[in-house]
Structure 1
Amino acid sequence: MRRNAPIILLSVGHACVDVYQGSVAALVPFFIAERSYSLAVASGIVLAATLLSSVAQPLFGLLTDRWALPWLLPVSTLLGGLGIALSGLSGSYPLTLVFVALSGIGVAAYHPESARVARIAGRGSHRAMGWFSTGGTVGFALAPLMVAAAMSVGGLRWTPLLVLPALVGAALCLPVVRVLQQRQAAGARTTPPPAGSDDVASFVRLSLAVVFRSVAFIGLSTFISLYVRERLGGGIAVGTAALFVLYLGSTVGAVLGGSLAARWDRVVVARWSYLVSVAAVTGVVWVPGPAVFLFLALTSAGLYVPFSLQVTLGQDYLPSRVGTASGITLGLTVSIGGLASPAVGAIADATSLRTALAPLALMPLLSWLIFRTLPEPGVMGAASPGTATAAPSGSGAAKPG
């Protein structure tokens, strides 16, 4: 396998998994239209997708810090797709929540291990991690288009079509797993980081900043389709276009973040990105007319420039617990943002969508304030403690640290 092939396969596989994170928000307007759910009830579906994921991601991170679990990549990908595929088949609201939660668990299982493996495959490169993160944002961007295409066939009963990306993603994971097994068999190990090298205080502050960022992005992604349709008029196509622009801008931001970090400190890049995001979210809520699409693109780019940088920052703050750091920064803190969605929906039901979305502009401001206090850690070497975790599936080999 060529040198860059593993990171490319991981990036595409990441896209196939994050299709299912983006699909949840994309399905909300269809649940409202076909089942007459209120905004608060419909946002409960987003909550179901994120609640179990929030709890499960750090647990999976702890597991991957101790044992090699590369088999999680294809299995979790399939689980994420299966839950979304089943979500539209039952008119039962509790059963829909169960299926969406099942998908959330699959997504939770995927991210800590994949981020650890991506760090190994990219040899510690910020640019490589940026491309890995870009794969996820591409999945987000494609989600509304795929959902709209599937729903146009026959509504929610056609959600089984959405399992197709999971099948592709699982197949792409297999060559990467084989490479990891070969490296482990060749004895590719690294020296564990020195004891006491973790900067827990900085990691906690970083995690809080990611939570605020997540509240803003997930809040917008849940309701922006309905909000733009309300402001501009038009049908589902207008709302789908708005969600697509939001997710497409995140793809640009993820690529840009990796490139900027190659020239400036990650903390500095994140600070400026969050300042841009404050103005951009304000524009989404208050600037009238089609200009909303421009501000949507700026918002998603601004919120996603720090995305991959925050993952590597977390790994460098906790070098002895790369899996745990990945599970929290890439998963838990992102998922927690979904917990705020029902509150945003309840405010929208009681007042208006504009009133409910306006406070989201404060979230990147809070992230910016936190980043003003964060240090730039020493960059870890190309090989990380996770290299030792590239054991064959099911080997049960304990990892150092």
Structure 2
Amino acid sequence: MPHFTEFNSHPPFPSDVPIAKLECISLTDLRNGNELESEALFDACKKDGFFLLDLRGDEMGEKILDDACKLFDMGKTLFDLPYEAKMEYTMGGARSVFGYKGVGLSKVDSEGTPDRCEFYGISKDDLFGLSAQLPSSDIITNSRPLLKSFLSDNYSLELLVLHHLETHLRLPSGALTSLHPLTKLSGDQVRILKYDPQPSSDRRTSLVPHTDFGSVTSLFNILGGLQVLPIGAPNTEQNWQYVRPQTGCAIINLGDSMVKWTNGLLKSAMHRVTYAPGKQAAATRWSLAYFGHAHNGALMKRMEGGVIPKLGDGVVEEALTAEDWLYVRSTSYKQEGMKEFERVVGKREEADVTPIVE
């Protein structure tokens, strides 16, 4: 099923909804050192924190697209399991962000409205034997080679993006990429997400507005539903814009780690998932994500040098490790976690809800 041929089996994305105008970057041009394409990537990361990455025509990019389609099929088999069977592998433990999350177990607002999303997260450390193998369904176990391949290739995309950002930030080679070795413990994961169609009389947000915790996220989907809030725009309903999926493209966004390291020069945009627009709303929506993180021991503080803005007068950073950063963020849906996050990194405007998920 190359190039997401399912695009042709669903109603088209409508043109009468607000659509985010995101830069579309060619992976082939980035690899070939095209300076204009590299500058466009940097500008998108400073302005939007989101861009589309066209994977077509690149050998690894084509492989990622093929693997993504296979993982969509695997996800359909996985989520067809009885609820009780899936709950045997539910997220748990003080620092676990892996495993299964059922519908309604996270909230979408301060009133406690339940979400309308289920997902399953698979750890990089588990797949690569860096940590103990987590209990999982046979469906996951039998798909480990495919999951490992997909994660490895998306990790390579992440390194390429970080390399180009290093150059434009005028940082030493490896300043960012060296924080993301595949062979060290980290929060990297592949996540498969399912959103069932919502009743026409009660359509609303499915996944809470949030920013991602880590460094670089790659997202693959066919139906609409992902929305972004433009940087600097008030969090009001009329300001949310749909991200229109494009055939052969991954949706790439930066996480809060990049904001932290660059003292706000690079952006991490608020985003959420709502029901798909137009006639697409009647279909089940599937997403596949790779979340890239720094290794657990990396320091989460402003990087010195280059074009990174200096800290304000009197500002003193408390440097968390990436492991603690992920723990604080993933538990900040609790009041005490939110207070801790605000104490360490400052309160984000309009971010009145921070979920347990990226």
| TM-score normalised by L of structure 1 | 0.29
| TM-score normalised by L of structure 2 | 0.31
- Larger % of strand: which? 2
Higher relative CO (Cα under 8 Å, sequence separation at least 6) belongs to 1
